[in-house]
Each structure stands twice: as structure tokens, then as C-alpha cells.
A and B are shown apart, each in its own frame.
Chain A
Amino acid sequence: MKETHNELVVARCKVCGKLILPPAWICPQCNSTAFEDMQLSKVGTIRTYTTIRIPPLGFEGQCPYDIAIIEMPEGINIPARLSTQGQEPKIGNKVSFINKEAEAYWFKLLSE
């Protein structure tokens, strides 16, 4: 798995096509161990979101911060950090991938 920070890359099972958030070890759907990188489009949709105000260890300086589950058109949901730039997010809002930082996927709200 090549490590790119500005591209949204997930693992795609070469046998059944299932998309998996890396790291992928074995396909839970068909048992294959053959994967390829798949680059996703950059724009997804918010399925749900929250603002974390009491952080776990290691996230203290970042609070409050927003987390969302992003639905990508290719058929995978991505847990992500959301940059809202002061706007109130809503379910169904479009968001755009920014980068992968400290192993987390970051998206930003697109203005309607």
C-alpha cells in the first residue's frame, strides 16, 4: 500500500471488488488476500456527525473537533475529521477530501 497523503486511497479486493479502509489483510466478503489501491473521488456526503468536547488521550489540544461519517459515491463510508470553518454541518451536506494527517482522513464542508 503506497502512502499518499493528498489522495484518497482505499484497498479494493481484486476478486470481489469490496472496498476496505486500509490496512486490509483479508477480504471479509470473499477471503481473498489480493488487494489493489483504489483512488476515490474527492467529494462525499455527510451521513452523520458530532462535535467532540471531551477528548481521549492525545487529542487534548484539538478540542472541540468535528467527526463525521462520509459516504463516498464508490460505495464506502469513511470515518473522518471535518473542517467546518465555522459553519454548522448538516446530514446530506457535500464535503471534499483535504488530506490524510496523523493517519486520519480530513474533509472540509463545501458551501451549498
Chain B
Amino acid sequence: MAFRKVSIIGVGTTPYGVLEGQSLKGMAIKACKEVMLDSHVNKELIQAFYLGNYIGGMVIGQETLAPLIASSLGLNKTIPSTRVEGACSSASIAFMQGYWMVAAGVYDMVLVAGVEKMTTATREKLTASLVASIDTETEGRTGLTFPGFWALLAQRHMYEYGTTMEQISMVTVKNHQNGSKNPRARFRNIITLEDVMESRLICDPLRIFHCCPNSDGASAAILCPSHMAKEFTDKAIEVAGIAQTTGYPTLSEMGQEVALPATVSASKQAFEMAGLKPSDIDVVELHDCFSPAEIVDSEDLGFFEKGKGGNALLEGITQVDGKLPINPSGGLMCKGHPVGATGLGQVYEVVMQLRGEHENQVRGAEIGLTHNAGGTGSVCCVTILRRWL
């Protein structure tokens, strides 16, 4: 079966952060209305709607979100609207569903979105909701948390490869420099290495500034076959490669604590599909939910040899003017992490880079990659996006 090529003909997003007075539904509708304006697509043309959301049920008490949002948007009543969940990868999974439906010729026009409301929840409720993707029958029994998971990986990475807390902390410093230029970022301030290394301990060796901030936000995109894209926009971005993988949800099963196999295999598949290699990528938005994650992910994606990610960062390779800019948006660390929206937020940032319209522009960026991980290594989505030549 020959699949059709698929392009992103529009993107939309809210800023990420504390969006006071904006509801889960309200934010999703805002992002979806923006994507329709950006793509010049009338809502009558949408043939399917996929929505990513992770903790709306537990935090807001609202389920069946996709039809509720579709109805408020006034989408056609004859189309399917479906919510997907894969922890922090939820929005990328929605994107992947839309991609294959268009590629397979089932639909010509699909709206995909992701949304999360976090900042109105109590800390107890929020922690309980997020921890719900850790296996409650095994590792959850120990009282493990998400920062705890990344602390376990950071300790072992430092032990095996000599990665330092300075390297790990520089992820936060770099991403704040980037985020200070991004009007969609929750934090716009520059912070120093000392600020990071002297901040409050959360779970040794990780401190509060090694953890990304909870945020509210929604992001959306519209996908159609590449051959139809020109009817709507001259700024279409093609999806060159895409993959979603299943990993080991516990460290016990993983058998090591220095890499996420789900990332390694998603990256390999996406590069194979695109016919590209890591050195072809001009800009990356990856899942820096905790500072050590950026170092581990940059290795697992194939950009650096295992154990060399920390050095690459200190050498400036991953800065916006470096050879391989990582998280020029500020990443999850500074832009914020509305868990069910983040994957499409990354797509938004990369699309803007490839259009040449980003506030923290990587010069001449033509090919970009997004990496969105969910749970404690359970899910990973990678997409490779390419400007039309």
C-alpha cells in the first residue's frame, strides 16, 4: 500500500504558564480557532478530531473531552472526535493518529490538539495525577515520583560517564536563555549556574530548578495530504518521519538506568522513514522534563555518543547558534509543561523555526525534530519535520 505524504498546513497555541480564568475547554478552543485561521481551513472541512489530554479526568473531573470540545467548536456532527492518552506524550499520539489517517487516505483534513489545566489543582491532587503513570503494582509501591525517576537516571549517568551536576545544571541555564526570547514561555528570566545549583533540593541530586514547571496550555495543528496543501497555504511543513514506541515502564524491567530504549527505537524508526540521519537535523525540541533528561535524550536520539551529551552541552553545540540547537523555545524547563499539550507545543515551535518566523530563530533551519516522552520510559514519540524545498 502506498501512503500519501502528509503536511502541517497550520498551527495554533496558547502561551504556556499560569493562565488564570482560562478553562481546559476554553484553552483548547482558543488553540483550535487559531489553527483554523493560520491554515485558512473552514471548520466544515475537518473530517476527524484527535485530542491529547493526560490528567483532565483526575484534576478537573472532566472526561469525554474530545466530543465536548468538538461540539463547542461547532465541528461537523458526522465526524469522529477521539481523546488519546499516553501521559506526557498524549498530544504527540494525537498527532500520530491524525498523520496515519491522512497518510492512509481515510481522511483529507484532520484537526489534532492537546490541552492540560494544571495550575488550579492542589499540589496533592497534581502529584497524585502525575504519579498515576508509574506502575502502581511495582515501582509505585516504593513512593517513587517523576523527579525521583530522573534522579535515579542522573545518579547512574554521572557514575558511568562522569557527567557532572554543572553539566546537568547548564541545561536549565541554557533553556532559560532561550525561553527569555519566547513570548509563549512561562518563565522569561535568565538564571545563573549558582541559582540552579543552590536551589531547593527535591530529590537528590535534583533541585527545584532541575524540574520543569507545571503549566496550563493548549496547542493544535491541521494535517492534510501534501498535494492539497498549496490550496491553503504557501507555508506548509511536511512530516518526513514519525514514530511512536512502547518502552519499559519500570527501571526494574529496563535493566539499566542511563538510556530510554523507547527513545532509541522511536528515533531510529523516524530517521529510517525520513531517509535522514541525526547530522541532517537543524533544530530539535526535546523532552527536558528534568535537566538530566536533555542530556540522556540527546544521546538516545543519536545526536551524541552515550555519555557525551553533557560535554556537548558545555561546548555550546546545543545553543541556538551552535551546530545542533536544542530547545530554542526554552524547552519544557522554561516554556512550561502542560503535560497533555506539550507534544503539539513542540510541533508549533519547530514549525515556526522551519517557516523562519521564530522569535529565537535558528538561522536557515530546514529540518527539525521533536521528541516527546511519556511516563517513566513507557511511551516515546519522535517526529521529523521538513520545510518544502
**Separation of A59 and B252 alpha carbons in the complex (Å):** 21
B152 adjacent to A48 (CB under 8 Å): yes
A interface, size bucket: 20 to 34
**Separation of A103 and B202 alpha carbons in the complex (Å):** 24
A91 adjacent to B204 (CB under 8 Å): no
Measured CB to CB, the nearest residue on chain B to A63 is B143
Residues of B close to A53: CB separation below 8 A = 201-204
A-B contact count (CB 8 A): 89
Measured CB to CB, the nearest residue on chain A to B205 is A50
Query: Which one, A55, A56, A91, A104, contacts B159 given CB within 8 A?
Result: A91
A56 adjacent to B143 (CB under 8 Å): yes
Residues of A close to B255: CB separation below 8 A = 77
The digit string for A72-104, where 1 denotes a CB below 8 A from any CB of B, is 000011111100000000010000000000111
Interface membership of B11, Cβ < 8 A: no
Q: A48-B159, A78-B252 are in contact. Are A23 and B137 (CB under 8 A)?
A: yes
Q: How far is the CB of A26 from chain B (nearest CB, A)?
A: 14
Measured CB to CB, the nearest residue on chain A to B128 is A57
B156 adjacent to A50 (CB under 8 Å): no
A59 adjacent to B143 (CB under 8 Å): yes
A104 adjacent to B152 (CB under 8 Å): no
B201 adjacent to A21 (CB under 8 Å): no
Residues of A close to B139: CB separation below 8 A = 79
The digit string for B130-148, where 1 denotes a CB below 8 A from any CB of A, is 0100000111011111011
Measured CB to CB, the nearest residue on chain B to A28 is B253
Residues of A close to B151: CB separation below 8 A = 50
A56 adjacent to B156 (CB under 8 Å): no
Residues of B close to A80: CB separation below 8 A = 142
Q: How far is the CB of B1 from chain A (nearest CB, A)?
A: 29
Residues of A close to B138: CB separation below 8 A = 21, 79
Measured CB to CB, the nearest residue on chain B to A77 is B252
Residues of B close to A77: CB separation below 8 A = 251-252, 255
Measured CB to CB, the nearest residue on chain A to B147 is A54
Q: Quick one: which of A55, A56, A81, A103 has the most chain B CB within 10 A?
A: A56
Interface membership of B155, Cβ < 8 A: yes
Q: A48-B156, A56-B131 are in contact. Are A69 and B141 (CB under 8 A)?
A: no
B143 adjacent to A65 (CB under 8 Å): yes
Q: Secondary structure of the A side of the interface?
A: strand
Query: Which one, A23, A59, A69, contacts B251 given CB within 8 A?
Result: A69
Interface membership of B62, Cβ < 8 A: no
Measured CB to CB, the nearest residue on chain B to A57 is B128
Query: Which one, A51, A54, A58, A76, contacts B252 given CB within 8 A?
Result: A76
Residues of A close to B204: CB separation below 8 A = 50-51, 53
Q: Which of B251-272 contact A (CB under 8 A)?
A: 251-252, 255, 257
**Separation of A110 and B255 alpha carbons in the complex (Å):** 23
Q: Quick one: which of B127, B143, B144 has the most chain A CB within 10 A?
A: B143
B152 adjacent to A57 (CB under 8 Å): no
Interface membership of A47, Cβ < 8 A: yes
B142 adjacent to A81 (CB under 8 Å): yes
B252 adjacent to A21 (CB under 8 Å): yes
Residues of A close to B147: CB separation below 8 A = 54
Residues of B close to A102: CB separation below 8 A = 141
Q: How far is the CB of A54 from chain B (nearest CB, A)?
A: 6
Q: How far is the CB of B57 from chain A (nearest CB, A)?
A: 16
Q: How far is the CB of A109 from chain B (nearest CB, A)?
A: 15
Residues of A close to B205: CB separation below 8 A = 50
Interface membership of B311, Cβ < 8 A: no
Interface membership of B315, Cβ < 8 A: no
Q: How far is the CB of B117 from chain A (nearest CB, A)?
A: 19
B252 adjacent to A57 (CB under 8 Å): no
A56 adjacent to B127 (CB under 8 Å): yes
- Chain A interface (Cβ within 8 Å of chain B)? 21, 23, 47-59, 62, 65, 67, 69, 76-81, 91, 102-105
A-B contact pairs, 27 of them (CB 8 A): A21-B138, A47-B156, A48-B152, A50-B151, A50-B203, A51-B201, A51-B203, A52-B145, A52-B148, A53-B202, A53-B204, A55-B127, A55-B143, A56-B127, A56-B131, A57-B124, A57-B131, A58-B143, A59-B143, A69-B257, A79-B138, A79-B141, A79-B252, A81-B143, A104-B141, A104-B142, A104-B143
Contacts beyond the supplied A79-B139, A80-B142, A81-B143: 9 A-B pairs with Cβ under 8 Å: A50-B206, A51-B204, A52-B145, A54-B127, A56-B145, A65-B143, A69-B251, A77-B255, A105-B142
